[in-house]
Copies of this chain bind each other. A is one copy, B any other.
């Protein structure tokens, strides 16, 4: 056997149900982000919960899901003016929305598209990645006016990703980190009461119970979760829907370490530091232990540091199941899933067209 990514679709459905119920209870439109699973088959599981509008992170992902019957898609990445024709083609077939930040891009896009498109103004909640600074009302107004002047565009609302909640290490941390942004979004809401606010990070969406000024939720990672989300405080280990299964290659007794086939081309090089110690993955089930973790990886090698008990139990020629640190990246690298239910292969976009 070779390193394999397993998926438990029962857990996937439970995770979707929980988030869909939460949105319904709070009167929020649920527009799940499909960048994590990137799979037509897993996408179908969302339809059982009445989902019609979805979110993706690239034009290619939008094309893929449009080809699989999704008619209302937000590309939650600022418009790429070097790919105008892709946006325009999509907008001719489906309800397409994307993000903008500057008047310049709105104008450049406007010159080359002929179909109607919704534009969210992306707001940066002091995360420093992308968006208009959330407090900069004059800049927000200017971009909004430029959108309204165009014949092709309509304002879809505001899009805000508070990615800094990944620094949290408990549910309370998440709530403390997100509260100032929610307060700033209240100002946006009272200034532009007619425009919906879409909001997306998995930690906040998982733990918030009062969504204040928000109108739409677009989390992605929650569909699988992962070991990072457990550490952040978003979920428990039994809510993680995917795991890697890797062959145990050798045992090194002098250092209580085990070599597996499973490296950076399988897990990604994403790690999390727990008490100053880096982990690239966490063995699950009977091997889940604070002292046992994927200590280091190179291209194909993984080294698991073991507690003495775990080291005794593991044998060469077995396989070991490991939670990924970041399921989005692991799924993208593995290019497909194997169902825990019946062993069938479930496709991932990166296995077809990247």
Please tell me if the beta carbons of A261 and B77 are within 8 angstroms of each other in the complex: yes
Q: How many copies does the complex hold?
A: 2
Partner of A319, one of B82, B128, B163, B329: B82
List the one stretch of A146-154, A210-218, A292-300 in contact with chain B.
Answer: A292-300
Q: How many residues of A sit at the interface, in one of the four size bands?
A: 35 or more
List the one stretch of A14-22, A102-110, A229-237, A339-347 in contact with chain B.
Answer: A102-110
A133 is an interface residue with CB less than 8 A from chain B? yes
Please tell me if the beta carbons of A264 and B329 are within 8 angstroms of each other in the complex: yes
Contacts of A77 in B (CB 8 A): 249, 261, 300-301
Complex formed: what's the CA distance from A90 to B350 in Å?
A: 28
Residue of A105, A130, A299, A300 ringed by the most chain B CB atoms within 10 A: A299
- The interface bits of chain A over 72-86 (1 if a CB of B lies within 8 angstroms of the residue's CB, else 0) are 000001111111000
Residues of chain A in range 285-327 having any CB-CB distance to chain B below 8 Å: 296, 298-301, 303, 316-317, 319
A177 is an interface residue with CB less than 8 A from chain B? no
Please tell me if the beta carbons of A130 and B270 are within 8 angstroms of each other in the complex: no
Please tell me if the beta carbons of B250 and A78 are within 8 angstroms of each other in the complex: yes
**Given contacts A130-B259, A265-B332, is CB(A247)–CB(B80) below 8 Å?**
yes
Please tell me if the beta carbons of A80 and B249 are within 8 angstroms of each other in the complex: yes
Contacts of A57 in B (CB 8 A): 299-300
**Given contacts A77-B300, A264-B270, A300-B77, is CB(A83)–CB(B2) below 8 Å?**
yes
Complex formed: what's the CA distance from A129 to B265 in Å?
A: 17
Complex formed: what's the CA distance from A108 to B247 in Å?
A: 14
Please tell me if the beta carbons of A249 and B78 are within 8 angstroms of each other in the complex: yes
Contacts of A249 in B (CB 8 A): 77-80, 105
A335 is an interface residue with CB less than 8 A from chain B? yes
A43 is an interface residue with CB less than 8 A from chain B? no
Please tell me if the beta carbons of A329 and B265 are within 8 angstroms of each other in the complex: yes
A1 is an interface residue with CB less than 8 A from chain B? yes
- The interface bits of chain A over 112-131 (1 if a CB of B lies within 8 angstroms of the residue's CB, else 0) are 00000000000000001110
Nearest 5 Cβ contacts at the A-B interface: A269-B269, A82-B247, A57-B300, A81-B317, A1-B82
